[in-house]
Chain A
Amino acid sequence: MAGLATSLGAGAASNSFNQIGDADTLFIFGSNTTEGHPVVSIHVNRAIRNGARIIVADPREIELVRHAEVWLNLRPGSNIALLNGLIHIILKEDLDNRDFIRKRTEGFEELRAAVEAYSPDRVEKITGVSPKKLIKAARIYAGAQNAMILYGLGVTEHQTGTENAMAIANLALVCGQIGRPATGIMALRGQNNVQGASDMGPLPATFTGYQSVTDPNVREKFEKSWGVKLPAKPGLKSVEMLDEAKDGAFKGLFILGEDPAQTDPDLRHVREALGSLEFLVVQDIFPTETTRFAHVILPGASFAEKDGTFTNGERRVQRIRKAIEPLSGMAEWQVLCELSSRMGHKMKYDHPSEIMDEIASLATIYRGISYRRLEDGGIQWPCPTKDHPGTATLYQEMFSRPGGRARFIALEHKGPAEAADSSFPLVLITGRRREHYNNGSMTRRVRGIMELFPEELLELSPADAERLKIKDGERVKVLSRRGEIEVKTKVTTRSQEGNVFLAFHHQDALTNVLTSEHRDPITGTPEYKACAVRIEKLQN
């Protein structure tokens, strides 16, 4: 979310999901919405039925392509070139929204200069998308009354992920397609509480509510509330903690509800790092790849076993409610209180609602939120006072940056860190399937889902299949510079020639053995979406 935060002020979706159906144009960028966010796609379907024009930018022929007027079938990792190219056309054809640019943005001249070099012909060379399609998409988007961009992990899970999101913001800003109902940018993220987990500030440089740990006034506020002196130096990112663990400088780690030994890219490195820790505690609801490395495993409570809140992808804070007692007798919030108290820093709450009250007292965007107020339908932040109804549409008056203006960021195409070459000639794109979730530890334990979707499938194009003499359903070996796995194939036109696709939900084919260690230097997000691989037939 760092990209949107830099450009617009908040690292969050600008609108509400139920506004999607009212947009007259949807630009679906790197999101297989139908599979990744099935109920969001119901809103997309509503827009389609209302006659909205659809543009899809995705290297794969995802289901929504069927409804799209233009499919920008770009090469993996060429997002910035594509977006710069669209802006180039919009400026050349005078389709930009001058008034909006003048009144509400800054940095336009730098952007104009940067996109100058992205002529449709050059963009075609980089992205593989024809000038005709580019021009058509640019005209549709710029000409819309109310356009919304829905972007997904196909945008963020790249080395240039942060910049990709900025490039999307540039496009919306050039056309003034933001800051109104049914007009804006929706970032569709992977896990259920991505938004809340950022808002709450388990982050090395910010406290709850994106307040910097280096700001003495902020620290003072938290010190007063927590009754303890707080460190001023920003901490290590998860990636850095692992790197330092491997080097022997980082010693003790508590992992709450994550499975980096399966979901992180470049698994070998992660496993070595986890193995080097002096003390590792993992709390989870199931044994995972990561719990194998633990010294102590603590049982977690599922969402049915505790009270709490999640913040969804439209900034809506919503309740989860305890339906059954925690199977292990304790929910995570209780465990953390106990642990902290035993270490000498007392923490005590009788109910999670009291934790929310404390959050509200420390973070302005949550200030007006309390469990009582969440009873009917949740509240979208920012909600600064106890009688504020919450905010469905961001940026109607101002952007939340200093000065209130949005910022254009001039960007250059860099491409994926690892390109296909003669020894690894195919590009592997990884992603999600509708039926499964993340490391699969939950969905793999639903019998019906396993019956329908028992194993990982490598999707490859008919052309590649023919060239490699691979039959649909055949098991093959997939190799990258880092590792190899065996998997069954599915030959499908969803994959374009040169690209193959794998999800990462199954333990038997650990996709992330293959993926690369390259990361977005700003957020540390791994480049899941592109790495170079080769396919070999199995010797029998």
Chain B
Amino acid sequence: MKKPVKAVINGREIISEEGRTVLEACREAGIYIPTLCFDERLEAYGGCRLCLVEVKGINRPLSSCTTPIQNGMEITTESPNLTELRKTMLSLILSNHPDDCMCCEKAGDCSLQELAYQYEVTPGKYDGERWNLPVKDDNPFISFDPNKCILCGRCVNICKNLMLKGAIAMTGRGFNSRPDTAFGRPLTPETCLFCGQCVSACPTGALIEKQSIGKGRNHSLRRIRTTCSYCGTGCNFYLNVKGGRVVKVTSDYEAPVNRGSLCIKGRFGYEFIHHPDRLTTPLIREGEGFREASWDEALDLVASRFNELKEKYGPEAVGAFSSSRCTNEENYLISKWVRAALGSNNVDNCARV
């Protein structure tokens, strides 16, 4: 067991545990601190300076994401001085950020937009030089608009430290630094996993899901929490739905197994749902081919044929295969159907395969 730590945050006593940061302790206690570069999946980087807090006895503000919580600490998370500092940080970021919220894919789900709104920071306070760089989307899944990058480092960090891949890194210096691939080459299967972890880490619209562009933004999407159907890891994520179509997958940071992380299949592999090849109506064999049929006709045929075969050859001559791709409920029902309606134990799944 970790040792408990007592501290006071905004005049309220809280109990956390040894090894936690001030930011973690605050979040646990339900106290909000703004962040841009912080990602729960990663070690704190302390770059964005928005999570600054005041600690009694220390005369300069500290980044809460890198400061360990200690017994007896007295912490203030909101003050006129902190607000001023945060406003300045945000104004500086906005000075080199396109005014594109109206058309930006990320609008409504963008940490920068949200913080600018919260701290009432409008673009144009500092008139800075702006990047004017081309969008890079030379691969099927990830679109990168470097102009919207705020250099929080989350994409680079997650690729290097969580995925151990290092497909992208911070390149250049000072004003010209930005995340990029080696020599600015396209992402390829040799270098990149296409896990989209970088996209999920990006707090702005710099890295976005290319497949979802133009298909709907945050306020118009319905989000349904679910479990991936591809492998037994059982990652959770949100299906984003608009007009009866799945248009995007987004991370569920509460997910017990994956905490927001996904792989290429989970994050980008949903397009099959609406593929034109989908079977949408029952088909009955006719000669060499098939003809469409109603559910009623098809189910009547299946029911009567199975009953006939059972009659003629006995229940041992009929059975079913079930699948480890189907739900528990379906697997349960098919085993019930075989045993109760067909009358044999000829049911098997392909779990062994």
Contact A193 B232 (CB under 8 A): yes
- Please tell me if B231 contacts chain A, counting CB pairs below 8 Å: yes
Return A204 CB to nearest CB of chain B, in Å: 5
Contact B340 A340 (CB under 8 A): yes
Contact A253 B320 (CB under 8 A): yes
Chain B interface size band reads 35 or more
- Please tell me if B336 contacts chain A, counting CB pairs below 8 Å: yes
Instruction: Please provide the 6 A-B residue pairs with the shortest distance between their CB atoms, ordered closest to farther.
Output: A312-B234, A448-B140, A235-B345, A308-B327, A38-B263, A257-B323
Contact A434 B328 (CB under 8 A): no
Contact B325 A191 (CB under 8 A): yes
- Complex CA distance for A387 and B92, rounded to whole angstroms: 52
* Chain B residues with CB below 8 A from A235, complex form: 319, 338, 344-348
On chain A, the number of residues with a Cβ less than 8 Å from chain B's Cβ atoms is 143
Contact B341 A344 (CB under 8 A): yes
**What would 12 A/B residue contacts be, using CB atoms closer than 8 Å?**
A45-B164, A192-B228, A194-B351, A196-B327, A228-B340, A241-B319, A258-B322, A285-B272, A286-B279, A323-B222, A339-B299, A449-B268
- Contact flag A192-B263 (CB < 8 Å), given A297-B290, A314-B257, A447-B140: no
Residues 305-331 of B at the A interface (beta carbon under 8 Å): 305-307, 309-310, 312-313, 315-331
Contact B230 A312 (CB under 8 A): no
Total of A-B residue pairs, C-beta within 8 Å: 443
Contact A236 B319 (CB under 8 A): yes
Interface string of B241-272 (1 = CB under 8 A from A): 10011100000001111100111111011111
Contact A297 B319 (CB under 8 A): no
Contact B226 A320 (CB under 8 A): yes
- Please tell me if A303 contacts chain B, counting CB pairs below 8 Å: yes
Give the contact stretch, choosing among B49-57, B76-84, B104-112, B280-288. Answer: B280-288
Give the contact stretch, choosing among B3-11, B128-136, B168-176, B188-196. Answer: B188-196
Contact residue among B229, B270, B317 (Cβ-Cβ distance under 8 Å from A250)? B317
Residue of A nearest to B254 (CB): A377
Contact A45 B348 (CB under 8 A): no
- Please tell me if B218 contacts chain A, counting CB pairs below 8 Å: no
Return B314 CB to nearest CB of chain A, in Å: 9
Residue of A nearest to B327 (CB): A308
Contact A435 B322 (CB under 8 A): no
Interface string of A298-319 (1 = CB under 8 A from B): 1110111110111111101111
- Complex CA distance for A195 and B352, rounded to whole angstroms: 10
- Contact flag A299-B233 (CB < 8 Å), given A251-B318, A448-B141, A452-B194: no
| Chain B contacts to A: CB under 8 angstroms | 139-141, 161-164, 188-189, 193-195, 210-211, 222, 224-236, 239, 241, 244-246, 254-258, 261-266, 268-273, 275, 277-285, 290, 295, 298-303, 305-307, 309-310, 312-313, 315-353
Contact A17 B345 (CB under 8 A): no
- Please tell me if A485 contacts chain B, counting CB pairs below 8 Å: no
Contact B328 A193 (CB under 8 A): yes
Contact residue among B305, B324, B353 (Cβ-Cβ distance under 8 Å from A279)? B305
Contact A202 B140 (CB under 8 A): no
Contact B326 A256 (CB under 8 A): yes
* Chain B residues with CB below 8 A from A445, complex form: 271-272, 275, 277
Contact A356 B329 (CB under 8 A): yes
| Chain A contacts to B: CB under 8 angstroms | 1, 17-18, 36-40, 42, 45-46, 48-49, 67, 156, 188-205, 207-208, 213, 222, 226, 228, 230-231, 233-238, 241, 249-258, 260, 263-264, 278-279, 281, 284-287, 291, 294-300, 302-306, 308-314, 316-325, 327-330, 332-333, 335-340, 342-345, 347, 352, 355-356, 358-359, 376-378, 434-435, 437-438, 441-443, 445-449, 451-453, 520, 523-526
Return B293 CB to nearest CB of chain A, in Å: 8
Residue of B nearest to A359 (CB): B332
Contact B298 A312 (CB under 8 A): no
Residue of A nearest to B275 (CB): A445
* Chain B residues with CB below 8 A from A317, complex form: 328
Contact A231 B325 (CB under 8 A): no
Contacts beyond the supplied A196-B331, A250-B319, A296-B301: 6 A-B pairs with Cβ under 8 Å: A235-B319, A252-B318, A312-B257, A347-B333, A356-B329, A446-B272
Residue of B nearest to A2 (CB): B352
Return B228 CB to nearest CB of chain A, in Å: 7
Contact B280 A299 (CB under 8 A): yes
For A228, A314, A323, the residue with the greatest tally of chain B CB atoms inside 10 Å of its CB is A323
- Complex CA distance for A93 and B301, rounded to whole angstroms: 68
- Complex CA distance for A362 and B241, rounded to whole angstroms: 36
